[in-house]
């Protein structure tokens, strides 16, 4: 008896991954700087001059992260011209999941009727959407899945300490989504880069609610369940990390800053964006900015900005686009896409 011959491995060439649709959603309620002046000692002038933020959106009490995410997802599916049952995987990047479990991605699956999808959440704070984009890309290039829905969604109003003027003026709620698929041709994600530095976890974090400081009346009294931030250190780290991330991904792509038609940065603070624009030598009008209207919506921020840039025609077919983000962890990430 002859032993069976080993089967030849199928050669599957690496597939390019394209964003075939985008969507976003922000809650209706607008919270202006003037309203914040009534609840903490601050001023519109201070907030605008230090951050560029004029207003932010706040979700209703019964509007959860999965609701924001599902609305953004449905807009992205419509934009892509596909139906929910075509989705193989749903990835939700968030630091404000509806619950510890099930994942917010599972709630989104039920809400949009994506019955053929596997679902999980990903935690990389404000960098989450680009981390999820990279994970999705790996699943598609490896031929594991064909169509992936990537969502960045956060209801930061649920974890903000509304008595802390250092943080409460910065954040807002929202969601952005993208549908990824291999479309053929050379356009799509060209290169990505991700990095982290766990040594600096304590400059931006929520100490309570997890297993270190489980929910208790005492921990809630001490406001351990809300965002703590060392603003100055976060600012410094954000500028350095985003610049390094941008340079690294451009080097991988074989491109220069002048080749980029549009740069979509994390929407945390206008001064951070101005600082990186100055150090890149790129004019500010090349940057997509919407933080004046939405504040910092964490994982949603770059996703909402991507959707707005797409829908307002900031990117034309063939354009090179850079996305670059920074967040708690610390985490950072960048991605160059040929649109
Ligand atoms: N209104 C009025 N005064 C304020 C406010 C406010 N909302 N917040 C702080 N101040 C006061 C401070 O108490 C301080 O007063 P003091 O001098 O009497 O002590 C003074 O303003 C100056 O404070 P600084 O912290 O020096 O102000 P700074 O110019 O650094 O700006 C800011 C603060 C806007 C938070 C800045 O450090 C920053 O943007 N950091 C990065 C924050 C960020 O982007 N976080 C998120 C990134 S990652 C993610 O998205 C999760």
Catalytic residue IDs: 126, 266, 296
Alpha-carbon distance of 210 to 18, in angstroms, equals 36
Nearest atom, ligand 1, residue 42 CA: 1
More confident residue, 11 or 87: 87
Neighbouring CB atoms inside 10 A of 101's CB total 9
Q: Tell me, in angstroms, the distance from the centre of ligand 1 to residue 262's CA.
A: 28
Alpha-carbon distance of 77 to 201, in angstroms, equals 35
Tell how strand 147-155 and strand 89-93 pair up. Answer: parallel
Q: 21-55, pLDDT tens digit by residue?
A: 999 999 999 999 999 999 999 999 999 999 999 99
Q: Where does CATH 3.40.47.10 sit in the chain?
A: 18-185, 189-338
Is any atom of ligand 1 closer than 6 Å to the C-beta of 328? Answer: yes
Domain 18-185 fold is: Peroxisomal Thiolase; Chain A, domain 1 (3.40.47)
Pocket test for ligand 1, best of 232, 233, 296 (most atoms within 8 A of CB): 232
Alpha-carbon distance of 226 to 217, in angstroms, equals 14
pTM score: 0.94
Alpha-carbon distance of 219 to 200, in angstroms, equals 23
What local confidence, expressed as pLDDT, does residue 185 receive? 75
Nearest alpha-carbon partner for 204 in 338, 315, 80, 329:
329
Measured between alpha carbons, how far is residue 321 from residues 159, 191, 239, 264, 271 in Å? 32, 11, 19, 8, 21
> What are residue 92's DSSP bridge partners?
121, 151
Sign of the Cα pseudo-torsion (133, 257, 195, 70, in order): negative
Mean pLDDT of the chain: 95
Nearest alpha-carbon partner for 267 in 310, 321, 306:
306
Percent of the chain topping pLDDT 90:
93
Is any atom of ligand 1 closer than 6 Å to the C-beta of 291? Answer: no
Q: Tell me, in angstroms, the distance from the centre of ligand 1 to residue 36's CA.
A: 15
Alpha-carbon distance of 238 to 221, in angstroms, equals 31
Is any atom of ligand 1 closer than 6 Å to the C-beta of 286? Answer: no
Alpha-carbon distance of 170 to 163, in angstroms, equals 13
Report how far Cα 42 is from the mean position of its chain's Cα atoms.
28
Q: 126-177, pLDDT tens digit by residue?
A: 999 999 999 999 999 999 999 999 999 999 999 999 999 999 999 999 999 9
Residues 99-108, mean pLDDT to the nearest whole number: 97
What local confidence, expressed as pLDDT, does residue 50 receive? 96
Tell how strand 331-338 and strand 89-93 pair up. Answer: unpaired
> What are residue 326's DSSP bridge partners?
332
Tokens 């600012």, residue located: 235
Alpha-carbon distance of 338 to 189, in angstroms, equals 6
Collapsing DSSP to helix, strand or coil, 165 comes out as helix
DSSP 124-148: -GGGHHHHHHHHHHHHHHTTS-SEE
Atom 42 of ligand 1 has which residue's CA nearest to it? 231
> Which region, left, alpha or beta, applies to residue 318 given φ > 0 means left and ψ of -120 to 50 means alpha?
left
Task: Classify each residue of 192-215 as buried b or exposed e, where b means 16 or more C-beta atoms within 10 Å of its C-beta.
Answer: bbbbbeeebeebbbbbbbeeebee
Q: 290-329, pLDDT tens digit by residue?
A: 999 999 999 999 999 999 999 999 999 999 999 999 999 9
Domain 189-338 fold is: Peroxisomal Thiolase; Chain A, domain 1 (3.40.47)
């Amino acid at each position: 008896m002859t032993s069976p011959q080993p089967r030849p491995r199928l050669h599957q060439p690496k597939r390019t991954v394209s964003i075939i649709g985008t969507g976003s959603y922000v809650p209706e309620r607008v919270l202006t700087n003037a309203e914040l002046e009534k609840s903490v000692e601050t001023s519109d002038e201070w907030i605008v001059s230090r951050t560029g933020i004029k207003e932010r959106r706040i979700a209703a009490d019964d509007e959860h992260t999965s609701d924001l995410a599902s609305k953004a997802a449905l807009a992205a599916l419509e934009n892509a011209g596909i139906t929910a049952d075509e989705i193989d995987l749903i990835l939700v990047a968030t630091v404000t999941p509806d619950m510890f479990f099930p994942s917010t991605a599972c709630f989104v699956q039920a809400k949009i009727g994506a019955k053929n999808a596997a679902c999980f959440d990903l935690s990389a704070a404000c960098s989450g959407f680009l981390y999820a984009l990279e994970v999705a890309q790996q699943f598609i290039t490896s031929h594991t899945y064909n169509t992936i829905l990537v969502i960045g969604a956060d209801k930061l109003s649920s974890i903000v300490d509304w008595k802390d003027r250092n943080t409460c003026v910065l954040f807002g709620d929202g969601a952005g989504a993208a549908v990824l698929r291999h479309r053929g041709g050379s356009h799509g994600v060209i290169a990505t880069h991700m990095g982290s530095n766990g040594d600096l976890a304590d400059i931006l974090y929520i100490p309570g609610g997890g297993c270190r400081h489980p929910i208790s009346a005492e921990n809630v009294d001490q406001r351990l369940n809300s965002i703590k931030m060392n603003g100055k250190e976060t600012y410094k780290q954000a500028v350095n990390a985003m610049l390094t991330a941008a340079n690294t991904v451009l080097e991988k792509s074989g491109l220069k800053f002048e080749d980029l038609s549009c740069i979509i940065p994390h929407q945390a603070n206008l001064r951070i964006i101005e600082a990186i624009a100055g150090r890149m030598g790129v004019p500010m009008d090349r940057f997509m900015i919407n933080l004046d209207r939405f504040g910092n919506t964490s994982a949603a921020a770059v996703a909402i900005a991507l959707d707005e840039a797409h829908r307002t025609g900031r990117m034309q077919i063939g354009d090179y686009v850079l996305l670059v983000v920074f967040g708690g962890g610390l985490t950072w990430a960048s991605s160059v896409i040929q649109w």
